[in-house]
Structure 1
Amino acid sequence: MLETVYLANPRGFCAGVKYAISYVEQAFEENSGEPLYVRKEIVHNQRVVEEMKKKGIQFISELSEVPDGATVVFSAHGVSPEVVKEATDRKMKIGDATCPLVTRVHKKARNIKDSHQIIYIGHRGHDEAIGTMGEAKMFLVESPEDVESLKGKISLDKPLTYLMQTTLSVADTKSIVKKIEDVFPFVEHPQKDDICYATTERQDAVQKMLESVDAMLVIGAENSSNSVRLCQLAKKTRPASFQISKKEDVNPNYIINQGIKTLGITAGASSPQVLVDEIVAEILKHFPDAKVSLYPESREDTMSFKLPKELLKQF
């Protein structure tokens, strides 16, 4: 029977997600009642998206779904230059809610695209990967095996470096970088990797908790890369760890059958605290004697990004 629930800290919303949500909400207010469209999910969390829809904010998959001159905000994951060009050609009013840490990777790509060959460590089809890879020609790798397949494609006569998706697993990325170094010993290592502080800190928090819990519960959407990585990390040490996205997913029988007495809970960077509260309350309905507290070795995430003065620009 479940006895103890520990909450990880930091967990949940990161500075980039807070920035993107605030950006869209403020842009919606400034747009004077005119329709505001957001291209793709602003962040990978259905709860957040649904709350915005209730306010009247509309979500689209592609710019072709809206008329010329419409007001469109790009999501936290960023977009490729082609998308920006389409929006400007169609005289749209544009807002860019891309996480500043993702924007930094885009700038790095633009700065080196002519001087270097670029390997991109990321997940095929992820919105962030699509946007970043649109900045320059890159070779996508998802595993050490993918690096092997680049033999013959990478020239030995031109400098080589790599960029990373910001939400990757720190441990998995190290193994891929090591493989790149082994296969292409002339590779130039960036001064700093691209994995964002929030991803690293949330993974570190989970790693510390694994010695004290029987399993970790990760709260996050299935398409949230950082949430999936958190669950994968936990499962390596605590195989009973699991991931859910809403309170309806709570399965008390699983907790009982797995013999989980001490449960750690964390949340992906796009999961709101209200969702954590609802899931904890649902767990306590089934295990009312369980004690809930912050894990002793925890700290707050105090990072923040300031919104630009001008949110919507007409090109």
Structure 2
Amino acid sequence: MKYAISYVETAFQENPDSPLYVRKEIVHNQRVVEEMKKKGIQFIDELKEVPDGATVVFSAHGVSPEVVKEATQRKMKIGDATCPLVTRVHKKARNIKDSHQIIYIAHRGHDEAIGTMGEADMFLVESPEDVENLKSKITKDKPLTYLMQTTLSVADTKSIVKKIEEVFPYVEHPQKDDICYATTERQEAVQSMLESVDAMLVIGAENSSNSVRLCQLAKKTRPASFQISRKEDVNPDHIKNAKIKILGITAGASSPQVLVDEIVGEILKHFPDAKVSLFPESREDTMSFKLPKELLKQY
């Protein structure tokens, strides 16, 4: 997500004389989007909202080949801020689309899923029950494998993969799963914190898949856990009524540090005697992706 944000901000700085449009939310975080709008960056849902030849950046979640084709035909200057991990899934889909049947583990309607499913014919599943329903659609005449949306719950995905193995024992497993390292690390961190806290606060937008998964994971053992996306959502009564003495805090991959700091600050206004400390097992995110030398291309 840092990659996508940096991509758009750099492209905007390098092209100050022409409007910069971003298709869909660059990341699923309203704070990030609003800050970009203040700078003059414009957001659109579809390419039809901008004129031919416009400068358009695709969001972190990726787009289907049809969107790229439309932009190219309309002679747009294109920037692709797709997360490199999502791009990797797209490439895998293109490489196997003619040789394999593909099961795609994802959330229907999510921007990432829409883009990935545009790369090849595939069967989308969201649960083990969906896998059962594929019995009549998948045959042994062609190899079978699966791909994943990058922001899924690790635990839920494992249960779906287990079901795929059970129903289709001949399935070919990918060498590596597709779940984003940032998503995986956050889920592991939450899991390790749950024994030490009364509830988890997840900072992230409602349409942020990885944030929603974090909250769902926390609620399984700490029902008082909750999710908010801005400091105005802090409700001290919720914390008091749930009798939360130790509150763990985590954030979705698209939530900026400034937002986390604001929300922690707001909580401290209501609970000035509270002590704030890093969880002992916290680790710094050190993985990063370099931006390409040429951000915007005319095809």
TM-score band (shorter)?
Answer: over 0.9
RMSD (Å) for aligned C-alpha atoms? 0.6
Residues 91-146 of structure 1: per-residue CA shift (max 9 Å, x gap): 00000000000000000000000000000000000000000010000000000000
Q: What corresponds to 1:3 in structure 2? A: none
Structure 1: how far apart are the matches of 2:175 and 2:35? 40
Alpha-carbon distance, 1:156 to partner: 1.5
CA offsets per residue over residues 158-217 of structure 1, 9 Å max, x none? 000000000000000000000011111111000110001111100001101000000000
Question: Which residue matches 1:12?
Answer: none
2:107 is equivalent to residue 123 of structure 1 = yes
Q: Distance in 2 between matches of 1:185 and 1:301?
A: 37
Match of 2:221 in 1: 237
d(CA) in 1 for partners of 2:93 and 2:53? Answer: 29
Which residue is equivalent to 1:157?
141
Counterpart CA distance in 2 for 1:211 and 1:109 is 39
Q: Are 2:91 and 1:103 aligned?
A: no
Identity of aligned residues (%): 90
Q: Deviation at 1:296?
A: 1.0
Superposed CA offset, 1:255-306 (max 9, x none):
1111100000000000011111111111111111000010111110101100
Q: Secondary structure at the match of 1:38?
A: strand
Supply the distance in 2 between the matched residues of 1:294 and 1:33 (Cα, whole angstroms): 44
> How much does 1:155 deviate?
1.4
Give 1:287's aligned residue.
271
Give the Cα separation in 2 of the matches to 1:30 and 1:89: 24
Task: Work out the CA distance in 1 between the residues paired with 2:293 and 2:266.
Answer: 41
The reply on whether 1:258 has 2:242 as its aligned counterpart is yes
Q: Using the alignment, how far apart are the partners of 1:65 and 1:147 within structure 2?
A: 38
User: Match for residue 45 of structure 2?
Assistant: 61
Shift of 1:32: 3.3
Say if 1:26 and 1:184 are closer, same or farther in 2 by CA, change over 3 A.
Answer: same
Find the aligned partners of 1:34 and 1:196 in 2 and give their Cα distance. 33
Task: Pick one of 208, 211, 215 that aligns with 1:224.
Answer: 208
Q: Distance in 2 between matches of 1:42 and 1:32?
A: 19
Q: Which whole-Å CA distance do the structure 2 matches of 1:95 and 1:60 have between them?
A: 14
**Aligned partners of 2:71, 2:127: CA distance in 1, in Å?**
34
Structure 2: unaligned runs, 5 residues or longer: none
Counterpart Cα distance in 2 of 1:40 and 1:32: 21
3-state SS in 2 of match to 1:146: helix
Mapped partners of 1:308, 1:55: distance in 2: 23
Runs (4+) of structure 1 moved beyond 3 Å? none
1:31 Cα offset (Å): 1.7
Normalising to structure 2: TM-score of the pair?
0.99
Question: Within 1, Cα distance between the matches of 2:152 and 2:119?
Answer: 20
Give the C-alpha shift of residue 18 in structure 1. Answer: 1.1
1:82, 1:109 → 2: CA distance? 15
CA–CA distance in structure 2, aligned partners of residues 29 and 250 of structure 1: 34
Deviation, 1:22, is 0.9
Alignment of 1:51 with 2:29, yes or no, is no
Q: Which moved more, 1:121-130 or 1:23-32?
A: 23-32
Specify the SS of the correspondent of 2:277. strand
What SS does structure 2 have at the residue aligned with 1:94? strand
Report what 1:204 is aligned to: 188
Higher mean C-alpha displacement, 37-46 vs 25-34? 25-34
Q: 230-239 or 27-36, which moves further after superposition?
A: 27-36
- The SS at the match of 1:210 is helix
Distance 2:90 2:147 in 1: 9
Aligned counterparts of 2:263 and 2:40: Cα–Cα separation in 1: 27
